[in-house]
Amino acid sequence: MEPNPTRESAFLHQEIAELRAEVARLKKENNDLQLTLLATVEHGDTVESELHATNRQLQSEILQRRKAHATLQDILETVLKDKADLELILKATAEHGDVLEYQLYTQAVETMRQSEELFRAISESTPILMILTQRLDGFISFANSTSLNQLGIDAQNLSNYHLRDFLVNPEDERLLIEQFQAEGAVKNQEVQVKRANGEVIWVSASVHPLRLGAGEALLTTLYDISSRKQAEASLLDYQQLLENQAQELEERVERRTTELRQAEEKYRSIFENAVEGIYQVSSDGHYLSANPALAEILGYASTEELMAMVTNVDRQLYVQPMRRFELIAYLKRYRSVSDFESELYCKDGSIIWVSENVRLIVRDDGEIVCFEGSLQNITHRRRTQEELRRHRHRTEQLLLNILPQPIAERLKQEEKTIVDSFSNAAVMFADIVNFTAISSNLSPEEVVDLLNSVFSTFDQLAELKRLEKVKTIGDAYMVVGGVPMPIDDPAGAIADMALAMQKVAQTFSPIGNHPIMLRIGIHQGPVTAGIIGSRKFSYDLWGDTVNVASRMETLGEPGQIQVTQTFFEELRDRYRFEERGSIDVKGKGMMKTYWLVGKIKSYQRKLVNPTMSKETPATKKILEKEKARSIISSNNLPERQPREPQTAIPAPELSDLAEYTSDITSG
Amino acid sequence: MKLVDINTEEYSILHDATSNTIVIKGFLRLDGMEEYKPIMDVLLGALENARNLTINVRDLEFLNSSGISTLSMFVVRVRERKDVHLTLQGSEAVLWQTKSLKNLQRLMPSLTLEYI
């Protein structure tokens, strides 16, 4: 750079100027820097103190923050716990809700099911037709089975039908609709419906609106009322019938009233003019009414007199008031009594028999109003009946006197001929010795009296010994043992009888020079007994035994009893016999016979006091009585009472005879 | 202190102070927690001064969700007391009791649950 010094001076000058400017600027900057340094030092101190204060403040803030953090931590824990609790509560509540929901749902389903089942049961079991229709178009949406069956609806195509299809009268549908619109429902409208089988029935129709889901439906029920309609119709008929009947009845009542009036007049006349006494008697026994015939029967001048005088029929009329009480007792039991016979007092005190027909008239409550009756005088009839009864009794007695009782019974039973065979009968004949001579001293009446007296005694003996008297032939007496009723010991009984007869005979007083003596014959064997003929018949015996017995008597001796060998053999152990020897019996040749003389004592029945002697007072007493009776009897024969037959003996006499028959055996 | 029992046609809450038992019966379906407040008051009243408390719900046939919430909150309150022993008596024949009573026990494990 040195080559050019002028230029170099200039240039140096310039460079010195420039360096001087630089030194001035540096001097200024140094001053500034010194100033800045001072300011900075001063400022650093301030900052330093400020920093220190700030630091202290931060320290305390940090402490506070730490405290706040701990508090926050506590709060967080509480919140978390609460959160857990709330979660648990939420869970519990949710689960609880689920349980309830489930329970309610199942309940709702069950209730719905039950309700549906109930509806189904009702709709399927009811005889009422139930039909659901859509309100808008009127098509059927449901019909119960009663409806399906009765109306013939096809269940698959319900909506093909309208309710009006089944109405007999098309007008009825309009009627139902009108009523439904006016009142909101239809109740018991009676219409006619056609069944599937063509039958037309009356039904009571009701329509109720139903809201099912969105649509509106109508439930129509149809209740069959044909039977009621029918009943109503027949009731109407019946009512008409009743009216007719009532009218007819009225006419009849009118006719009847006329008839009754006539009848009343007629009965009044009958009452007044009746032969029978007709009356009404109050429960306390006085006449409420009586007809003239009653007054006449009871001997009163008029019904007025009768009703005035008789104030108590029980005591005043009835001979036996008990009879009246009997009548009332019967009436209370049977209400009416017929042919009740009793004795009544007439006005004059005389007694008549009456027959009454009486009815008891009672009120509904059972209280006696009166006795109503009629009575008839039957005094005459009673007497006739009594007479008839006596006659019949006497006839029977007579028959019994002729015939043994069993034979009489058989004869009464219309047996024409009676013939019986008996294998072992004891037959006895007894005859009064020299009767012809005896009777020659007596009048015929005395003869009859004597025979009656003797034979009556024999009859009593026979009855006592249960023997059958067959007959008497003149002065002969025939008796049999063992016929017609079998007895234990016919031979013994006949022997006792024969001995007793001989004894009795001795007690009769002699007639003139002739004592009463008997000749007796006995045999034993088979006989035939019976009745032959139809008029004046008698019970009789036939056979060889009878003939031989008769021969024993005729060939015997006075005061003796002749018996055959057969009879002897039968009784030889019990009775005493004496051999007579052989005699010639006509038609039989020689027969050995015996005398029966007594009974062996050891066989004697102890019927009497053994101390009694042979001549007892009893014997005499019997015979005296017997005689007295026979006389009385003969005197009073026509008036004799048939009730007392000749054979009847008072009990003491029978016992006397019993004593007597046993006495005999000791002889 | 006399506690007021509650007795309506549908349900009843009876407090037997001598045995410290509360018996709840019937159908409880009050609308919302607010309406359960009177019942909660009876429960809390019984809790005061008690060492043992028994709640018998055997015959409580129905309890709605607000009800179970109320009961849950009461159990929490008992648990917080720490010094009270709570017994719940229920029936296995009532469906809700078989589930929900166990959930109450989870809120307070010391709770005694008796199905009688």
Average pLDDT over residues A266-278: 83
Omega prior to A642 cis, within 30 of 0: no
Q: Is B48 inside a domain boundary?
A: yes
Q: How many domains does chain B have?
A: 1
Q: Helix A651-666 vs helix A617-635: angle between axes, to the nearest 10 degrees?
A: 130
Q: Do B106 and A93 touch (CB under 8 A)?
A: no
Nearest beta carbon to residue B73 from set A89, A95, A99: A89
Residue A484 pLDDT level (bands cut at 50, 70, 90): confident
Grouping H, G, I as helix, E, B as strand and the rest as coil, residue A193 is strand
Q: Residue A64 pLDDT > 90, yes or no?
A: yes
Contact B96 A96 (CB under 8 A): yes
Q: Which of A84-98, A395-409, A417-431, B63-77 has the lowest mean pLDDT?
A: A395-409
CA distance B70 to chain A (A): 9
CA distance B2 to chain A (A): 30
Query: Residue A658's pLDDT is what?
Result: 52
CB contacts of A89 in chain B (<8 Å) are 69, 72-73, 76, 107
Work out the mean pLDDT of chain A and round it to a whole number.
Answer: 84
Burial class (CB in 10 A: 0-12, 13-18, 19+), A164: middle
> Residue ranges of the domains in chain A?
126-224, 274-377, 416-666
Residue with more model confidence, A609 or A131: A131
Domain A126-224 CATH assignment equals 2.60.40.10:
no
CA distances from A319 to A338, A341, A389, A518 (A): 19, 12, 23, 58
> How near does any CA of chain B get to the CA of A104, in Å?
10
Asked if A88's CB is within 8 angstroms of B103's CB, the reply is yes
Residue of chain A nearest B72, judged by CA positions? A89
Tell me which chain A residues have a C-beta less than 8 angstroms from the C-beta of B99.
Answer: 95-96, 99
- Across all residues in chain B, what is the average pLDDT? 89
Distance separating alpha carbons of residues A288 and A310, to the nearest angstrom: 11
pLDDT score recorded for residue A605: 52
pLDDT at residue number A665: 44
Distance CA A118, CA A124 (A): 10
Q: What is the pLDDT of residue A114?
A: 92
What are the tokens at A644? 């007392």
- Chain A residues near residue B95 by CB distance under 8 angstroms: 99, 102-103
| Spatial contact of B82 and B90, defined as CB atoms under 8 Å apart | no
Residue B1 lies in a domain: no
Residue in chain A closest to B106 (alpha carbons) equals A88
Tell me if chain A has a CB within 8 Å of the CB of B69: yes
Distance of CA A602 to the CA centre of its chain: 68
Residue A176 has a pLDDT of 87
Q: Are B103 and A90 in contact (CB under 8 A)?
A: no
DSSP per-residue letters across A39-106: HHHHHHHHHHHHHHHHHHHHHHHHHHHHHHHHHHHHHHHHHHHHHHHHHHHHHHHHHHHHHHHHHHHH
Shortest distance between the Cα of A80 and any Cα of chain B, in A, equals 14
- Whose tokens are 């008929």? That residue is A237
* Cα A558 to Cα A553: distance, rounded to the nearest angstrom: 10
Write the pLDDT tens digit of every residue in A170-223: 888 888 888 888 988 888 888 988 888 888 888 999 999 888 777 788 888 998
A307-344 burial code (b ≥16 CB/10 A, e <16): beebeebbeebbeeeeebeebbeebeeeeebeebebeb
Query: What are the backbone angles phi and psi of residue A96, rounded to the nearest 5°?
Result: -60, -45
What the block records as the tokens of B56 is 């018998």
Q: Which CATH number is correct for A416-666, 3.40.190.10, 3.30.70.1230, 3.40.50.9100, 3.40.50.720?
A: 3.30.70.1230
Which range of A461-465, A598-602, B3-7, B86-90 scores highest in mean pLDDT? It is: B86-90
Q: What is the DSSP string of A508-548?
A: SPPBTTB---EEEEEEEEEEEEEE-SSSS--EEEESHHHHH
Q: Do A416-666 and A274-377 have the same topology in CATH?
A: no
Burial of A294 (0-12, 13-18, 19+ CB in 10 A): buried
Mean pLDDT to the nearest integer, B97-107 = 89
Residues of chain A positioned with their CB less than 8 A from the CB of B106: 88, 92
pLDDT in tens, A581-609: 999 988 888 999 999 999 987 765 544 33
C-beta of residue A527 within 8 angstroms of C-beta of residue A539: no
Range with the lowest mean pLDDT among A4-13, A324-333, A377-386, A533-542?
Answer: A533-542
Does A100 contact B62 at a Cβ distance shorter than 8 Å? yes
Could A96 and B103 be called an inter-chain contact, meaning their C-beta atoms sit closer than 8 Å?
A: yes
Count of residues in chain B: 116
Q: Do A92 and B63 touch (CB under 8 A)?
A: no
Instruction: Give the span between the Cα atoms of A341 and A338, in whole angstroms.
Output: 9
Contact A650, A621 (CB under 8 A): no
* Among B27, B63, B68, B111, the residue to mutate for chain A (most A Cβ within 10 A): B68
Sequence-separated (6 or more) residues with CB below 8 Å from residue A32: none
For residues A621-642, average pLDDT: 44
Given this model, what pLDDT does residue A603 score?
64
Does residue A338 carry a pLDDT above 70? yes
For the segment B34-58, the average pLDDT, to the nearest whole number, is 91
To the nearest 5 percent, what fractions of chain B are helix, strand and coil? 40, 30, 30
Tell me, yes or no, whether B60 lies in a domain: yes
Q: Give the residue numbers spanning the domain of B71.
A: 6-115
Check CB contact of B62 with chain A, cutoff 8 Å: yes
**For A274-377, which CATH superfamily applies?**
PAS domain (3.30.450.20)
Interchain CB contacts (distance < 8 Å): A and B: 46
The whole-number average pLDDT for the span A294-308 is 91
Residue A100 near chain B (CB below 8 Å): yes
Chain B: residue nearest A85 by CA? B107
pLDDT value at A518 more than 90? yes
pLDDT for A95 beyond 50: yes
| Token digits of residue A4 | 């050019």
Residue A655 has pLDDT above 50, yes or no: no
Q: Is the pLDDT of residue A614 over 80?
A: no
Residue A311 CA: distances (Å) to CA of A284, A356, A479:
9, 19, 67
Label residue A141 by pLDDT band (50, 70, 90): confident
Domain holding B22: CATH number? 3.30.750.24
Q: What is the pLDDT of residue A20?
A: 93
Task: Single out the residue of A490, A503, A643 nearest to residue A570, CA to CA.
Answer: A490
Position A76, amino acid: L
**Interchain contact, B106 vs A92, CB within 8 Å:** yes
- Give the pLDDT band of residue A227 (cuts 50, 70, 90): confident
Predicted local distance difference test score (pLDDT) of residue B1 = 45
Q: Does A87 touch chain B (CB under 8 A)?
A: no
DSSP secondary structure string for all residues of A368-381: EEEEEEEEEE-HHH
Q: Which chain B residues touch A107 with a CB distance below 8 Å? A: none
A658 is written with which tokens? 């019993």
Q: Tens of pLDDT along A432-476?
A: 998 888 888 888 888 888 888 889 999 999 988 889 998 888 889
- Per the domain annotation, does B31 fall within a domain? yes
